[in-house]
Structure 1
Amino acid sequence: MFQILSIKGTINFLRHAVPISILSLVLVLGSLTSLATNGINWGLDFTGGTVVELEFSSPSDLEALRAELSSVETDGAVVQNFGSSRDVLVRLPVKEGVATDTQVSQVMDAALKFDPQVVQKRVEVVGPQIGKELAEQGGLAVLVALICILIYVSFRFEWRLALGSVAALAHDVIITLGVFSLLQLDFDLTVLAGVLTVVGYSLNDTIVVFDRIRENFLKIRKGEPEEIVNTSITQTMSRTIITTGTTLVVVVALFLKGGTMIHGFATALLMGIFVGTFSSIYVASFLAVKLGINREHMMPVEIEKEGADQDALMP
């Protein structure tokens, strides 16, 4: 009865796998092209610069303050609220031949024009060497995460599924980075945290599907691998919709109302949720099918009991 209901109630997701996989390939190649030509718009966390935190006596006009910081020394300054409408964070890029004290003084002169009672709360300087180390360590963190995931899934499931999961994760990360490169959005440490969160979210979704695939290969004796995969995806779809829907509610709220400080983090998560959901089906699962996954690969390895060969020789 279980076998009949599982196969009959299946939605043929993989019927559209080829065109969607081609679309994914185009998106990945486009992202790689953008990364190679446009690069990434690294934030001050990676390039180095100066951060000045100001406290105004009344809500500040950020647009007017940005317009005031248009001199050569402060060109490219990022002005944003920090916590409340009276607290302002000014992020200044490194300028060759311009001292940090000069930049800070110009920021204070511009702020005093709007509020004579403005208070300079802190000044932090991030050197370019530290920023370079952060970029290298961040990229290394993503690479190590992918390698550890490949090893984990190989032991937990099977190497064909492991390759599919890592391909899906690489797909999600590359497309997310491609969007930031194409739109030239600031890439800072919060965005890096968002990318790593996307890796974890996408992996969780893929593991749920793979776990059901393994169960169904053992339970459903009749059926082609593609049918088993379609059945597994269908059975986990309600869970995927609920998880994705509730996560999207939070991420959209952060994207719209979270403020500038976590806007990049929310953008990375928003992109990662969309691409991660369909990559679990049309990248990870479809690649495993194309690599020839079948029921025999899911069977547990039989361990020969001690003395079994001697028992077989006994009359």
Structure 2
Amino acid sequence: MRLPRLYPLRLWPDESHFDFMRLRHISLPFSAAISVAVIAIFLIFGLNYGVDFKGGTLIEMQPQSAEQRVPVATVRDKANSFGYGEVEVQEFGNDGGVSLRFPIQPGGEAAQGVVVEKARAEFGAGYSFERVETVGPRVSGELVQSGTIGVILAVLAVLVYLWFRFERELAIAAIIGTLHDIVLTIGFFVITRHEFNMTSIAAILTIVGYSLNETVVVFDRTRELLRRYKTMPTIELLNLSINTTMSRTAITSMTTILSLVALVWFGGRAIEGFAQVMLAGVFICTYSAIFISTPTLIYIGVRVAQRRQAQEGRGVPQPAE
């Protein structure tokens, strides 16, 4: 029996000649405007820091039955009546779940424990306590410092890698794309008001790695084509580099998106925020590699730099194909 011939999966035609660079007149101003807006909103409103960074007590409750659900305003009034300061109360999920965030209380861990016992006594009859976290001011300060240093060192390491991985012009474009992805990821936190905690730090570092991966794939092909086609116009060459790697980019993005969608739907409350940030990050990084990093090479003048290196004897011109 003759088995049917299997063909490799292609989400993008191999012989495609789509003009991606034509869209640079829209994508670059759009991303610049969004980045400026994100920075402005960040400076005005800041991030919604979680208990990890602010300190205090976080309690998440679920009603034991539909009949025992209490309006959020009622829960807020009862929590504020405890006398422990202004309590942040939010509803989450579709089952009436409520989160309460109490500020740091003087008196150390014992005082935070009193807050939890008071909440159990008031809401324990109708709610089950799904999550209770308590972080003191000293611990939260250390986490802020460690998290900030970790992100800065990781980003610097990525930027140094890009600088030595590519020629100067390619490295500059890759660095611009990576910084763009970081800014828009922070913007996702600012706009959606997702809680920013240690898990968010892990999400940002993961997105930086994904951004680096997407950029390296496209720019490796760009560098290869620059050496092969000496007389091809820059715009045409950049379009060719994206079209020839687009199938790989589409497959990688789609498999990652499917995994993250499954985590968002079925992963539970603990990793839902991480999965949502990563899902947004995949779209941002894929968009950035195609419509930000690569078009930037046109304005940096990658062809001019290549010709200058050849004239100085640092590159040996090859016959045009």
What TM bracket, shorter-length normalisation?
0.7 to 0.9
User: In the alignment, what sits opposite 1:183?
Assistant: 192
> Closer, same or farther in 2 for the Cα pair 1:228/1:16, shift >3 Å?
same
Deviation by residue 1:143-170 (Cα, 9 ceiling, x = unmatched): 2222222221222211221121121111
Aligned-residue offset at 1:302 = 6.8
Note if 1:113 corresponds to 2:113: no
Aligned-residue offset at 1:28 = 0.2
Q: Is the 8 A contact 1:13 1:230 kept in 2?
A: yes
User: In the alignment, what sits opposite 1:248?
Assistant: 257
Match of 1:232 among 226, 241, 247: 241
Percent pairwise identity: 30
What secondary structure, in the 3-state scheme, does the structure 1 residue paired with 2:79 have? coil
User: In the alignment, what sits opposite 1:11?
Assistant: 18
What secondary structure, in the 3-state scheme, does the structure 2 residue paired with 1:71 have? helix
Q: Is the 8 A contact 2:47 2:193 kept in 1?
A: yes
Q: Is the 8 A contact 1:50 1:93 kept in 2?
A: yes
Q: Is the 8 A contact 2:264 2:276 kept in 1?
A: yes
Q: Is the 8 A contact 1:180 1:187 kept in 2?
A: yes
Aligned-residue offset at 1:131 = 1.8
Q: Which one-letter code corresponds to 2:119 in the other structure? A: V
The 2-side partners of 1:187 and 1:101 are apart by 23
Aligned-residue offset at 1:244 = 0.8
Aligned-residue offset at 1:231 = 0.5
Alignment RMSD (CA, Å): 3.3
What secondary structure, in the 3-state scheme, does the structure 2 residue paired with 1:108 have? helix
What secondary structure, in the 3-state scheme, does the structure 2 residue paired with 1:10 have? coil
Q: Is the 8 A contact 1:44 1:91 kept in 2?
A: no
User: In the alignment, what sits opposite 1:71?
Assistant: 79
Note if 1:29 corresponds to 2:36: yes
Match of 2:152 among 143, 156, 177: 143
The 2-side partners of 1:157 and 1:24 are apart by 24
Aligned-residue offset at 1:109 = 0.7
The 2-side partners of 1:298 and 1:187 are apart by 46
Q: Is the 8 A contact 2:185 2:281 kept in 1?
A: yes
Deviation by residue 1:48-78 (Cα, 9 ceiling, x = unmatched): 1235699x9x967795496546322473257
Match of 1:210 among 214, 219, 224: 219
What secondary structure, in the 3-state scheme, does the structure 1 residue paired with 2:118 have? helix
- The farther-off stretch of 38-47 and 122-131 is 122-131
Aligned-residue offset at 1:298 = 8.2
User: In the alignment, what sits opposite 1:126?
Assistant: 135
Note if 1:166 corresponds to 2:175: yes
What secondary structure, in the 3-state scheme, does the structure 1 residue paired with 2:236 have? helix
What secondary structure, in the 3-state scheme, does the structure 1 residue paired with 2:18 have? coil
Q: Is the 8 A contact 1:52 1:122 kept in 2?
A: yes
* Equivalent residue pairs, number: 286
Q: Which one-letter code corresponds to 1:102 in the other structure? A: V
> Closer, same or farther in 2 for the Cα pair 1:63/1:172, shift >3 Å?
farther
User: In the alignment, what sits opposite 2:113?
Assistant: 101
Q: Is the 8 A contact 2:60 2:130 kept in 1?
A: yes
Unaligned runs of 5+ in 2: 1-14, 317-321
Q: Is the 8 A contact 1:158 1:297 kept in 2?
A: no
Aligned-residue offset at 1:277 = 0.8
> Closer, same or farther in 2 for the Cα pair 1:89/1:130, shift >3 Å?
farther
User: In the alignment, what sits opposite 1:38?
Assistant: 45
The 1-side partners of 2:154 and 2:170 are apart by 17
Aligned-residue offset at 1:223 = 0.3
Aligned-residue offset at 1:93 = 2.8
Q: Is the 8 A contact 1:80 1:260 kept in 2?
A: no
Deviation by residue 1:168-196 (Cα, 9 ceiling, x = unmatched): 11111111211221232211111221111
Unaligned runs of 5+ in 1: 1-7, 304-315
The 1-side partners of 2:171 and 2:132 are apart by 47
Deviation by residue 1:91-131 (Cα, 9 ceiling, x = unmatched): 6432456832331111221343237xx7x899653122322
The 1-side partners of 2:182 and 2:100 are apart by 27
The 2-side partners of 1:269 and 1:298 are apart by 40
Aligned-residue offset at 1:9 = 5.0
The 1-side partners of 2:131 and 2:188 are apart by 33
